[in-house]
Structure 1
Amino acid sequence: MSPFHAFSTDLLATKKIRIGIVGGRFGASFQFHEHPNCIVEAVSDLREDRRSHLKKTYSCDKAYNALDLLLKDPNIDAVFLATPASDHAKHTLASLKAGKHVLFAVPLGMTIQECREIKEAVLSTGKNFMMAETSVYMQGTITVRKFYEEGRFGKVFSAAAEYNHPGLEVLWFENGKPTWRHGLVPMNYPTHCIALLVSFTGERLKKSKLPWVWERGGLIGK
């Protein structure tokens, strides 16, 4: 069994999830095709070279050159959106309205209004919806969560987390042209750090000041 799905549940499920993967750079970094309950039904990217990369990565022959075409495929149950952050909201809304379950790369949206619209769409469609925050699944986070649930920390009244993500500057330009990441406000993208805390406390962000500090009742700025 692959270590990537060693802790998965219901490995004998009779229905396999047929997923469409959108985004041929980051979207090619995962192992959906290795999970026993998942079939990569189709892939999509606007660029032919990235579509080819996705097809090779997931051994998938079906490819679409646009998301709206992929969403019309009746064989697809769910989509994984690995598209630019500025497109997450509109892509998520389109996918939900097309009747697909959605898994997408962080962040949720670029504005509070986008987040509200996604919440309303999730509630109205009843589809499964998940933000793929990798920090939740890091071994250190898993261990801390286990210790917290076992009460091994005693009474926790404060906690802080830090996530260092060097090297992103190489993604600011491609072929001499700025990408969507260039000029992005850093704290529109705090999910990696915040998730380390909310994952084990179950609390939610209450204020948006820095640095992030968790105290009983929620994350606050201090």
Structure 2
Amino acid sequence: MSRIIRWGLLSAGNIAGQFAQDFSAVENAVIHAVAARNGDIARAFAREHGIEKAYAGYEPLLADSEIDVIYIGTPHSLHFEHAKAALEHGKAVLCEKPMTVTPEECEELQRVALRTSGYLMEAMWTYFLPPVQTALRWVQEGRIGRICQIKADFGYPQFPFDSKKRVYDASLAGGCLLEMGVYPVALAWLFMRQDPAEIQVVARHAPNGVEDDLAILFNYPESVVTLGTSFRCKLQNWAYIIGEQGYIAIPDFWRAREASLYVLDDRVDHFVDKRATEGFHYEAQAVTNDLLAGRAGSSVVAARDSLAIQRQMAMIREAFSDEA
């Protein structure tokens, strides 16, 4: 019998629920336990998703010797301490994006992974979606020529405003950049693989001062990237990778189900992912496969990728802080 990778969920919130819902499509793996600060919530989550164990508090989950890997779905500001604790307990870690809230935290967490010989990956699930991987392959094959522009945005209204609501709560690293802007920033890095020479940002802020609407321009020597994110309005949430010879359109790129390749006005190729899930199982399967193969890290979301995304978000924050 092949080895089964046993997962533990450190959180019983909404994102953990989506992750668990898709897990039935993951092979050679099982969710063994879930933990929440409130034991009743953990037990209800376990019943809903058919999970064997439920823990009140996180320490029992980390101490469970049967668990191979921990999925962390807590608020952004807690990712660093929870991922660090899991690594120091000898667990592999899949940590929700953004993995940390600063580049410095990201670097320190990666040092902990090296010190403990632990597996650490940021849960950038968009990178694993087949339409995004297909678009990347089209670019690498030269089908659109040299990239001239990238356009990507991600925004949903978060009304009414409440400073205690997680997405607005400054103490939990609230604001649209880390909550939603991480998606277009990560997409730009996936296709560009370099830092921009110049960044310009137009920012709007919620009543408590956290950013709630951003328009971002990355200027490269031969390309321009325009990104947007917002709590104020529903954005298109598409991505366009535009080259000298054609362009790629990815509707709802963050949860992409299709991608189209155009030359001028003609669609010349089209990929559709007919999955029955939301798509979280792709990243879970990739981590499972890495652990079964004894790999030290991910080749899809590598340490340098997570650090680059953190670095670019810090550059964006600096740009709109200077603007203020």
Normalising by structure 1, we get a TM-score of 0.78
User: In the TM superposition, what are the counterparts of 1:10-21 in structure 2 within 5 Å?
Assistant: 14-21=2-9
Residue of structure 1 equivalent to 2:165: 179
Maintained 8 Å contact 2:33/2:54:
yes
The one-letter code matched in structure 1 to 2:175 is V
The one-letter code matched in structure 2 to 1:29 is Q
User: In the TM superposition, what are the counterparts of 1:34-73 in structure 2 within 5 Å?
Assistant: 34-73=25-64
Maintained 8 Å contact 1:104/1:130:
yes
The one-letter code matched in structure 1 to 2:176 is P
The answer to whether the aligner puts 1:89 opposite 2:74 as a matched pair is: no
Distance 1:14 1:167, change over 3 A: farther
Q: Secondary structure of 1:63's partner?
A: strand
Residue of structure 2 equivalent to 1:10: none
Distance 1:71 1:53, change over 3 A: same
Residue of structure 2 equivalent to 1:28: 17
Give the strand-richer structure, 1 or 2.
Answer: 2
Maintained 8 Å contact 1:22/1:79:
yes
Q: Taking every aligned residue pair, what percent have the same amino acid on both sides?
A: 22
Deviations 1:150-174 (A, max 9, x none): 110112244232223x14447x76x
Distance 1:72 1:209, change over 3 A: farther
For 2:75 and 2:104, the matched residues in 1 are separated by 18
| Cα deviation, residue 129, structure 1 | 1.2
CA RMSD of aligned residues (A): 2.9
Distance 1:67 1:97, change over 3 A: same
Q: Could you tell me which of 128, 136, 149 is aligned with 2:119?
A: 128
For 2:2 and 2:217, the matched residues in 1 are separated by 43
Distance 1:91 1:205, change over 3 A: farther
Q: What residue ranges of structure 1 are gaps of 5+ in the alignment?
A: 1-12
For 1:208 and 1:126, the matched residues in 2 are separated by 36
Distance 1:153 1:182, change over 3 A: same
| Cα deviation, residue 22, structure 1 | 1.5
Residue of structure 1 equivalent to 2:147: 156
Distance 1:141 1:163, change over 3 A: farther
The answer to whether the aligner puts 1:106 opposite 2:92 as a matched pair is: no
Maintained 8 Å contact 1:160/1:212:
no
Distance 1:17 1:206, change over 3 A: farther
Normalising by structure 2, we get a TM-score of 0.56
Maintained 8 Å contact 2:92/2:120:
yes
The one-letter code matched in structure 1 to 2:54 is A
| Cα deviation, residue 33, structure 1 | 3.9
The one-letter code matched in structure 2 to 1:141 is V
| Cα deviation, residue 61, structure 1 | 2.5
Distance 1:33 1:57, change over 3 A: farther
- Between structure 1 and structure 2, the one with the greater Rg is 2
